[in-house]
């Protein structure tokens, strides 16, 4: 690195943190940027970077009367989702990453990516982005610093995290921060790597400019590195929404729910109860990630480490998710949606008529009736949580909220019934461990294929999946008031491919049963799979639902469960000797109950 670079790091830096300064210096020496800019998170900085992004064509201003403060970003068409096949856990031992992760030797990974990062920021600016995951000053909060050459990343991190000076102040002189390095590179899918070094609290991401690949606080730190730290430190980092549901008497119950990517977390977390639920209220604590630890009273407390939502756009409308519609009305970055003639945004599943003409997500003219989608199926909004009308007053509470129920839910067109309750914690961990879900557009690859996705963490667990499940089992020793565990499936279909359950706000009907079970207010009915609502306990008045639909949505079919058990067996075999004993026993019990 030239002396000007050194001067830039030392001279402009708003910190005296020696570890941070020397790490930034080393990264700048490798990537050779023209400039180094330390981000402070201020409004002035936002304005300056936004203007520059517009000038460079990275952001397209939207109609500012209709969507004040909103911009559209079009990513490279080869770079529209997480890339699981290019995501690596680089632990010194391959076994520590486990059979469900891609592994690379750390030395080899540093060398390989080092060659890519070598000079990758020439002619560009390196932004230093300090950020906090979790409320500032909180006991669970972690600090990360992301070095990136992408303005888009900076502006997104500004929404998704508590970014800038306050985070740097919280870090002080400590060397305890996550070191994230990102360079957009030439966006060549053959030279794209997302590498995690949990033992070094380090992430290197090269060659992408999209979401979960590059907003390093989110999936990379809060889940992959987070889950690794959680096991070492005795807490849980989970792919879960957190909501508070308040009943007409004013009692609030906090619930965390793990659904795989694009399987309904944001929608459930922002749900508005139907008219028949007057006096009930659902408030959002988080929509994607929960960090949970045992509090002094022995309960499990959850915080949302994020400060914004990176949500799926298609399917969002004033009927499915009115709170999301309000959230994205201003100060929102849209990625890969379509644009209308008057500079507003459009997507499949938006309210109203399909416009005659649009500009599609790739910037091409699009006409009504065109078979191709105008918005990418994984198009996203980035919006501050403070825009959400249903934001929980506890969303900023550093202590988090006490969790009374944990829900696991996959996207299954058959087999899995609408709702059931686990017999106990171990059985609940078994339900989470045996989750399956049909793949979605949130990751590149085939869509609609059932895969095992334990606790919705398959792409996000930073260590051996067997150890992860054992960690869940072990947690029950330190939690004195165990949350009750449930399984749901909003996505069961009839033989014509129509959803049997109306979903969205109507999921309140299932949530009410869950709340009632938590507080011991309703008896239940035992089945082979778990406890289910008795007939009538899930009210269906007011639903436009044929009577056989609810019967079908809640049915348990022996033949479907035979093939389900086989698929679960393949998953457990993959874990080898690390498949937890307690879960193997649960499996045996289920087999004997099913008589197969
Ligand atoms: P990630 O941000 O990828 O983790 O996704 P998510 O789990 O937050 O999923 P999200 O709530 O954004 O929903 C994904 C898709 O599923 C959207 O197109 C929704 O419209 C649809 N969806 C959500 N909830 C329901 C539901 O209850 N029933 C049905 N049929 N579809 C739903
Ligand atoms: C997911 O895929 O689960 C997401 C979107 O929440 S991303 O940030 O791209 O991972
Ligand atoms: Mn997610």
Give the tens place of pLDDT for each residue, 131-141.
Answer: 999 999 999 99
Tell me if 309 CB under 6 Å of ligand 2.
no
Q: Give 547's pLDDT tier (boundaries 50, 70, 90).
A: confident
Q: Give the count of beta carbons closer than 10 Å to the beta carbon of residue 544.
A: 7
Q: Give the count of beta carbons closer than 10 Å to the beta carbon of residue 473.
A: 17
What are the structural domains of the chain? 3-58+82-234 (3.40.449.10), 237-306+392-595 (3.90.228.20), 309-387 (2.170.8.10)
Kindly state the tokens that stand for 362.
Answer: 């790739």
Check residue 15 and report its DSSP letter.
Answer: -
In the beta sheet, which residues pair with residue 367?
357
In the block, tokens 């799926």 appear at: 312
Distance from C-alpha of 283 to C-alpha of 391, rounded to nearest angstrom: 6
In the block, tokens 């008219």 appear at: 275
3 state SS of 78: coil
Kindly state the tokens that stand for 12.
Answer: 């402009």
* Interior angle at CA 303, CA 232 and CA 16, nearest 5: 70
Distance from C-alpha of 29 to C-alpha of 49, rounded to nearest angstrom: 24
The phi, psi pair for 292, rounded to 5°, reads -125, 130
**Given the DSSP bridges, would you call strands 241-246 and 281-286 parallel, antiparallel or unpaired?**
antiparallel
Non-local (6+) Cβ contacts of 41 within 8 A are 158, 162, 163, 164, 165, 166, 167
Q: Give the count of beta carbons closer than 10 Å to the beta carbon of residue 13.
A: 17
pLDDT at 5 over 90: no
**Given the DSSP bridges, would you call strands 401-409 and 252-258 parallel, antiparallel or unpaired?**
parallel
Give the tens place of pLDDT for each residue, 249-301.
Answer: 999 999 999 999 999 999 999 999 999 999 999 999 999 999 999 999 999 99
**Positive or negative: CA dihedral 525, 253, 406, 287:** positive
Tell me if 218 CB under 6 Å of ligand 2.
yes
Q: What integer pLDDT is reported at residue 4 of this predicted model?
A: 47
Distance of CA 113 to the CA centre of its chain: 26
Q: Give 3's pLDDT tier (boundaries 50, 70, 90).
A: very low
Flag whether 505 is marked binding: yes
Distance from C-alpha of 131 to C-alpha of 403, rounded to nearest angstrom: 26
Burial zone of 565 (CB within 10 Å; 0-12 exposed, 13-18 middle, 19+ buried):
middle
Q: What integer pLDDT is reported at residue 596 of this predicted model?
A: 65
Q: What integer pLDDT is reported at residue 390 of this predicted model?
A: 98
pLDDT at 417 over 60: yes
The mean pLDDT of the chain is 96
Residue owning the nearest CA to atom 1 of ligand 2: 261
In the beta sheet, which residues pair with residue 61?
71
Q: Give 10's pLDDT tier (boundaries 50, 70, 90).
A: low
Q: Please give the number of the atom of ligand 1 that sits closest to the Cα of 316.
A: 20
Distance from C-alpha of 272 to C-alpha of 255, rounded to nearest angstrom: 15
Residue owning the nearest CA to atom 4 of ligand 2: 261
Flag whether 293 is marked binding: no
Give the tens place of pLDDT for each residue, 27-52.
Answer: 999 999 999 999 999 999 999 999 99
Residue owning the nearest CA to atom 3 of ligand 2: 261
Distance from C-alpha of 492 to C-alpha of 501, rounded to nearest angstrom: 7
């Amino acid at each position: 690195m030239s002396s000007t670079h050194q001067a830039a790091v030392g001279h402009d830096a708003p910190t005296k943190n020696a570890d941070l300064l020397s790490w930034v210096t080393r990264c700048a020496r490798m990537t050779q940027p023209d400039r180094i800019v330390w981000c402070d998170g201020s409004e002035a900085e936002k304005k300056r970077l936004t203007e520059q992004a517009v000038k460079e064509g990275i952001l397209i201003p939207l109609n500012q009367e209709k969507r004040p403060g909103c911009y559209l970003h079009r990513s490279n068409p080869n770079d529209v989702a997480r890339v699981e096949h290019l995501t690596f856990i680089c632990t010194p031992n391959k076994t520590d990453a486990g059979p469900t992760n891609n592994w690379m030797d750390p030395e080899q990974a540093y060398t390989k990516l080092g060659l890519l990062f070598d000079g990758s920021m020439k002619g560009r600016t390196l932004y230093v982005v300090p950020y906090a995951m979790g409320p500032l000053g909180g006991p669970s909060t972690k600090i990360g610093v992301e070095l990136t050459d992408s303005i888009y990343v900076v502006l997104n991190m500004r929404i998704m995290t508590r970014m800038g000076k306050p985070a740097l102040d919280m870090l002080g002189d400590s060397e305890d921060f996550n070191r994230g390095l990102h360079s957009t590179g030439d966006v060549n899918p053959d030279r794209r790597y997302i590498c995690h070094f949990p033992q070094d609290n380090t992430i290197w991401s090269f060659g992408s400019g999209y979401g979960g690949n590059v907003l390093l606080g989110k999936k990379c730190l809060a889940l992959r590195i987070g889950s690794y730290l959680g096991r070492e430190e005795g807490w849980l980092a989970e792919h879960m929404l957190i909501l508070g549901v308040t009943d007409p008497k004013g009692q609030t119950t906090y619930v965390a729910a793990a659904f795989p990517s694009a399987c309904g977390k944001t929608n459930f977390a922002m749900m508005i109860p139907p008219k028949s639920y007057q006096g009930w209220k659902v408030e959002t604590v988080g929509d994607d990630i929960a960090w949970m630890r045992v509090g002094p009273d022995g309960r499990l407390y959850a915080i949302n480490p994020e400060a914004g939502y990176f949500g799926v756009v298609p399917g969002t409308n004033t009927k499915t998710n009115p709170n999301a519609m309000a959230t994205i009305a201003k100060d929102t970055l849209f990625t890969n949606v379509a644009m209308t003639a008057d500079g507003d945004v459009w997507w499949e599943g938006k309210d109203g008529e399909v416009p005659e003409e649009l500009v599609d997500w790739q910037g091409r003219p699009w006409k009504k009736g065109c078979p191709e989608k105008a918005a990418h199926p994984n198009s996203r909004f980035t919006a501050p949580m403070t825009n959400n009308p249903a934001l929980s007053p506890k969303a900023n509470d550093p202590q988090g909220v006490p969790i009374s129920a944990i829900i696991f839910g996959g996207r299954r067109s058959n087999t899995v019934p609408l709702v059931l309750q686990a017999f106990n914690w171990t059985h609940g961990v078994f339900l989470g461990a045996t989750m399956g879900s049909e793949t979605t557009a949130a990751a590149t690859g085939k869509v609609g294929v059932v895969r095992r996705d334990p606790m919705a963490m398959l792409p996000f667990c930073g260590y051996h999946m067997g150890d992860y499940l054992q960690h869940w089992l072990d947690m029950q020793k330190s939690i004195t008031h165990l949350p009750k565990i449930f399984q749901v499936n909003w996505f069961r279909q009839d033989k014509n491919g129509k959803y049997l359950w109306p979903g969205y706000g109507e999921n309140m009907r299932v949530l009410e049963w869950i709340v009632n079970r938590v507080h011991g207010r309703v008896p239940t009915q035992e089945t082979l799979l778990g406890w289910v609502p008795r007939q009538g306990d899930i009210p269906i008045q007011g639903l436009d639902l044929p009577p056989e639909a609810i019967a079908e949505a809640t049915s348990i079919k022996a033949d479907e469960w035979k093939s389900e058990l086989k698929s679960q067996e393949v998953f457990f075999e993959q874990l080898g000797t690390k498949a937890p004993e307690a879960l193997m026993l649960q499996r045996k019990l289920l087999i004997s109950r099913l008589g197969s």
